[in-house]
Amino acid sequence: MLEKKILNKEKGLVLYALTPPKAEFEEAKLREISNRWTDRINDINADGLVLYEVQDESERNESERTFEFSGTLSPQRYYSNYLNVSTKPVFYRVAGAYDESSFRKSLKQQSANLNVLVGATHSHQSVSLSLQRAYEIACEFDELVVGGVCISERHAKKGDEVKRMRQKLEMGVKFFISQAIFDIELTHKFLASCATAKIDVPIFLTFSTAGNPKTLEFIKWLGVSVPTSIENRLNKSSDYLNESVQIIKEIYSELREFGDKNGLNLGLNIESVMAKRAEIEASLALCKQLKNTRRLI
């Protein structure tokens, strides 16, 4: 069971993440999409399946959104009603999308024992339920293993990400999942601070494949730091997607070595932010390969 592995601080865990399909799709299309994903998920045999609950993040970024926001099925509904997989789910939950009553009810009725709680996209956003209160409510459920988000970019800007993580640990968090990573220097500094603070719970490093400049632009829009050197390398490559996969492998290998030497428990979370077949297939192949690599260590 994934929750037990996390609580036991087992190393080398590998997750695969995806966003449920748009809620506006007709039933036939939802079934078609979910059947395809069922086969993919069963094939990679990851330790866990992360299902994102999305929110419109336009207010946190003055730049025009690369792709129009569209609501999706809830992680609970998608996992229970459409996917036919045995892989343990990890549900993201946007605290501000609930009030206390609906949040408590949702936790009680869900089919997952693992949740990652996410706060508002910016400090001025008006919400009915704060992230702190969401953690307090989650603690009422004894079987629930709660995770939090960690962001290297926020640490670089404010220098307090490890302090935030410590506060979340005090509120019951048992693991963390990072924002997507393309900036190794920035992430290295963040992980060095985690090591100094002796944070020993699993930290899942997220990596996302990019098949073209438009996908990378969307990743950047989401707040991910992409160094100019990386962007130039991708643009000069004859195979943009394959080059992005190679970059991920290089970054992961170096960060994994640092983590192993400094007492960090680093896991993996692989995703494709776009519903493009080539990028999805590349992310699935990468997940399988890196999962096998961890098994050999």
CATH of the domain at 159: 3.20.20.220
Q: For position 297, what pLDDT does the model report?
A: 43
Q: For position 128, what pLDDT does the model report?
A: 82
Rounded Cα distance between 146 and 91, Å, is 10
Q: What is the pLDDT of residues 19-30, one digit of tens each?
A: 999 999 999 999
pTM of the model: 0.92
* Coil/strand/helix, residue 49: strand
Q: What is the pLDDT of residues 122-141, one digit of tens each?
A: 555 567 899 999 999 999 99
Q: What total of structural domains would you count in the chain?
A: 1
Are residues 151 and 178 in contact, defined by beta-carbon separation less than 8 angstroms?
yes
Q: Which amino acid is at 76?
A: Q
Closest by CA position to 147, among listed 130, 165, 133, 161 = 165
Q: Taking 70 as the threshold, does the pLDDT of residue 62 lie above it?
A: no
Q: Taking 90 as the threshold, does the pLDDT of residue 66 lie above it?
A: no
Q: Taking 80 as the threshold, does the pLDDT of residue 120 lie above it?
A: no
- Domain assignment of residue 156, given as a range: 2-295
Q: What is the pLDDT of residues 76-97, one digit of tens each?
A: 999 999 999 999 999 999 998 9
* Coil/strand/helix, residue 173: strand
Confidence of residue 296 (pLDDT cuts 50, 70, 90): very low
* Coil/strand/helix, residue 287: helix
What does pLDDT average to over the chain? Answer: 92
Q: What is the mean pLDDT of residues 265-283?
A: 96
Rounded Cα distance between 265 and 202, Å, is 5
Rounded Cα distance between 178 and 288, Å, is 20
205-207-210 Cα angle (round to 5): 170
**Residue 212 dihedral angles phi and psi, to the nearest 5°:** -165, 170
Q: For position 34, what pLDDT does the model report?
A: 97
Confidence of residue 74 (pLDDT cuts 50, 70, 90): very high
For residue 276, the surrounding DSSP H or E stretch is none
Confidence of residue 68 (pLDDT cuts 50, 70, 90): low
**Residue 263 dihedral angles phi and psi, to the nearest 5°:** 75, 20
Q: Which residue has the higher pLDDT, 155 or 292?
A: 155
Q: Which amino acid is at 183?
A: D
Q: Where are the beta strands (DSSP E) in 77-113?
A: 89-94
Rounded Cα distance between 17 and 94, Å, is 16
Q: What is the mean pLDDT of residues 103-129?
A: 84
